């Protein structure tokens, strides 16, 4: 029988503690007035309308509506919906009013919102996202039909670029925010992958500018965001927007805007209002306190009733809780943050209950093996082996339920909706954030139940029982000598 080394317990336990602390508190850097987020914590979780409230906003076209069709209105709705999803806002409602040429949206506040300003909250959704690559960086004052300077809402003259357009947002396939480490620093950039329609044009423009040390400026909504010097011809259809990003979130926001596409016409806010949380302002604090008390009581029960397996189960349970917080907050790079609603919290509670159940089943099996006269190592191995399939069967059925809920009630372009598309033809497209949040937290909780409650707990218990002072049958549920 292969034995687990003694240090394994401490290594696994320390990793769980590190995950718990970083997932709950996050990791941040402060440079003057700038605050950089390295690892998202619980404070970065975006809560749903039912918990924290949100914004009710109506978008409409700027100026006349005569040339705007119902299809244009539906396109605006789809673009705004895509922007919400790209910003990991899954708890939202959106409707298109084709009669009045308007789009109505309801969505929750951001996690760092303090003054609850609707105008600031909706700014991202209404951007036109007109991306242009131009030769040089020359500009001129925009003139109206009478030849007079056009002024913005603050009375300033509007300046527009005049350089030849090389590419537009329609030539971009994907935009991805990432860190450039080539200069020894983590510099946020946006990497663009061009479509075939843009590759040849970009290659010709970069070849021409490289020969004269020229520049190709990058403009978003007539605002220059970068003006890099062209050093060489770019023929592979990949471009990088660098500079001008205060932190990674700004690069991510730009990538999301580019990916979501441009609006068919300029829009403005016709009306907006604040939605009060349906559960009250203090409901989240009460739920968090109740969760802490419940976790403490469960931990005490596991420790006193199951002793050594109970100690290991408590450590694994904290790892499962940390994993679920991390899965919602955006802790992992491959798991984006998600809006947490009340049903989502119910999914967390349910998966924690399943995690406790898995540890109870295993501890009871180990106890039975000890009382049947097995050795300590044999009892642990047989206890985990005999309990695995019971745990597996119960969790797999819930995984299937979670995936179906995410496929039916999640974004139509989402992973699970795409995978289940052949089976979901009878369901209309519907994004119900509260149900989607339940399915997501349930799925993440079950995954971490296997990682922590089955794998990590087994390693820790096999390791800790290598210490002579702990190799006592009564610590595993047997009778005292």
- pLDDT score of 310: 92
What whole-number distance in Å separates Cα of residue 345 and Cα of residue 352? 11
Tokens of 468: 């002579």
Listed residue (91, 84, 55) closest to 432, CA to CA: 91
Q: What is the mean pLDDT of residues 73-89?
A: 75
| Contact (CB, 8 A) for 175 and 194 | no
pLDDT single digits (tens) 247-303:
777 777 777 767 666 677 778 888 888 887 766 557 777 888 888 898 899 999 999
Kindly give the pairing relationship between strand 238-242 and strand 267-275.
unpaired
- pLDDT score of 20: 94
- pLDDT score of 244: 65
Confidence at 458, pLDDT banded by 50, 70, 90? very high
| Contact (CB, 8 A) for 424 and 462 | no
Pick from 74-88, 339-353, 385-399, 431-445: least confident: 74-88
Confidence at 153, pLDDT banded by 50, 70, 90? low
Q: What is the mean pLDDT of residues 159-177?
A: 84
What whole-number distance in Å separates Cα of residue 18 and Cα of residue 383? 28
Tokens of 190: 């946006």
Q: What is the mean pLDDT of residues 474-478?
A: 81
DSSP code of residue 120? H
- What distances in angstroms separate CA 217 from CA 19, 100, 139, 230, one per listed residue? 42, 39, 11, 10
- Name which residue leads in pLDDT, 3 or 375: 375
C-beta neighbour count of 81 within 10 angstroms: 23
- Name which residue leads in pLDDT, 330 or 140: 140
Q: How much of the chain exceeds pLDDT 90, in percent?
A: 17
pLDDT single digits (tens) 312-370:
999 999 999 999 999 888 887 656 667 888 888 888 988 998 889 999 999 999 989 88
Q: What is the dihedral of CA 168, 205, 236, 173, to 10 degrees?
A: 0
What whole-number distance in Å separates Cα of residue 295 and Cα of residue 349? 10
Judging by beta carbons within 10 Å of its beta carbon (0-12, 13-18, 19+), is residue 56 exposed, middle or buried?
middle
- Name which residue leads in pLDDT, 257 or 175: 175
Question: Which residue in this structure is represented by tokens 């990497």?
Answer: 191
Pick from 24-33, 155-164, 258-267: least confident: 258-267
Strands (E), 24-112: 27-31, 34-39, 54-61, 93-97, 102-108
Q: What is the mean pLDDT of the chain?
A: 82
What whole-number distance in Å separates Cα of residue 408 and Cα of residue 460? 39
What whole-number distance in Å separates Cα of residue 337 and Cα of residue 176? 16
DSSP code of residue 228? P
Listed residue (48, 58, 53) closest to 272, CA to CA: 58
**H or E stretch at 167:** strand 165-168
| Contact (CB, 8 A) for 443 and 415 | no
pLDDT single digits (tens) 413-432:
566 777 777 776 665 555 55
- Phi then psi dihedrals of residue 348, to 5 deg: -65, -45
What whole-number distance in Å separates Cα of residue 273 and Cα of residue 268? 15
What whole-number distance in Å separates Cα of residue 167 and Cα of residue 197? 9
For 105, residues 6+ apart whose C-beta sits below 8 A from its C-beta are 55, 56, 57, 58, 59, 80, 84, 92, 93, 94, 122, 125
End-to-end CA separation in angstroms for the chain = 26
For 31, residues 6+ apart whose C-beta sits below 8 A from its C-beta are none
pLDDT single digits (tens) 35-73:
777 888 888 888 888 888 888 888 888 877 888 888 888
Kindly give the pairing relationship between strand 165-168 and strand 267-275.
unpaired
- pLDDT score of 342: 83
With vertex at residue 90, the alpha carbon angle to CA 86 and CA 92, rounded to the nearest 5 degrees, is 110
Q: At what angle do helices 457-464 and 376-409 cross, to 10 degrees?
A: 160
């Amino acid at each position: 029988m292969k034995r687990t080394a003694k240090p394994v317990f401490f290594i696994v336990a320390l990793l769980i503690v590190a995950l718990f602390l970083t997932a709950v508190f996050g990791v941040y850097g402060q440079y003057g007035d700038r605050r950089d987020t390295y690892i998202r914590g619980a404070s970065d979780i975006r809560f749903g309308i039912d918990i924290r409230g949100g914004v009710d906003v109506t978008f409409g076209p700027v100026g006349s509506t005569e040339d705007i069709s119902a299809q244009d209105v539906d396109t605006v709705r789809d673009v705004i919906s895509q922007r919400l999803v790209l910003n990991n806002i899954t708890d939202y409602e959106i409707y298109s009013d084709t009669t009045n040429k308007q789009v109505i949206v309801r969505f929750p506040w951001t996690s760092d919102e303090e003054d609850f300003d609707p105008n600031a909250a909706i700014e991202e959704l209404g951007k036109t996202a007109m991306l242009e690559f131009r030769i040089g960086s020359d500009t001129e004052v925009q003139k109206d039909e009478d030849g007079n300077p056009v002024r913005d809402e603050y009375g300033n003259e509007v300046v527009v670029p005049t350089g030849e357009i090389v590419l537009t947002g329609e030539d971009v396939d994907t935009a991805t925010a990432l860190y450039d480490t080539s200069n020894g620093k983590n510099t946020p950039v946006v990497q663009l992958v061009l479509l075939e329609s843009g590759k040849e044009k970009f290659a010709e423009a970069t070849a021409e500018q490289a020969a004269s040390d020229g520049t190709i400026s990058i403009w978003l909504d007539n605002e220059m965001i970068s003006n890099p010097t062209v050093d060489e011809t770019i023929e592979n259809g990949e471009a990088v927007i660098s500079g001008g990003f205060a932190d990674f979130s700004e690069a991510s926001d730009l990538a999301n805007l580019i990916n979501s596409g441009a609006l068919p016409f300029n829009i403005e806010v016709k009306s907006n209002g604040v939605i009060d949380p349906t559960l009250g302002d203090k409901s989240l604090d009460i739920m968090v306190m109740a969760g802490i008390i419940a976790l403490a009581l469960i931990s005490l029960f596991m420790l006193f009733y199951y002793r050594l397996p109970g100690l290991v189960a408590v450590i694994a349970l904290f790892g499962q809780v940390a994993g679920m917080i991390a899965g919602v907050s955006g802790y992992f790079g491959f798991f984006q943050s998600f809006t947490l609603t009340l049903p989502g919290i119910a999914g967390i509670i349910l998966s924690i209950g399943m995690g406790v159940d898995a540890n109870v089943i295993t501890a009871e099996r180990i106890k039975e093996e000890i009382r049947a006269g097995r050795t300590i190592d044999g009892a642990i191995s047989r206890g985990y082996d005999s309990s695995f399939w019971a745990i597996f069967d119960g969790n797999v059925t819930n995984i299937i339920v979670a995936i179906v809920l995410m496929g039916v009630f999640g974004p139509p372009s989402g992973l699970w909706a795409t995978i289940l598309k052949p089976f979901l033809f009878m369901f209309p497209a519907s994004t119900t954030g509260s149900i989607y949040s339940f399915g997501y937290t349930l799925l993440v909780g079950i995954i971490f139940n296997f990682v922590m409650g089955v794998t990590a707990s087994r390693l820790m218990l096999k390791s800790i029982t290598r210490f002579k002072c702990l190799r006592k049958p009564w610590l595993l549920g047997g009778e005292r000598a």
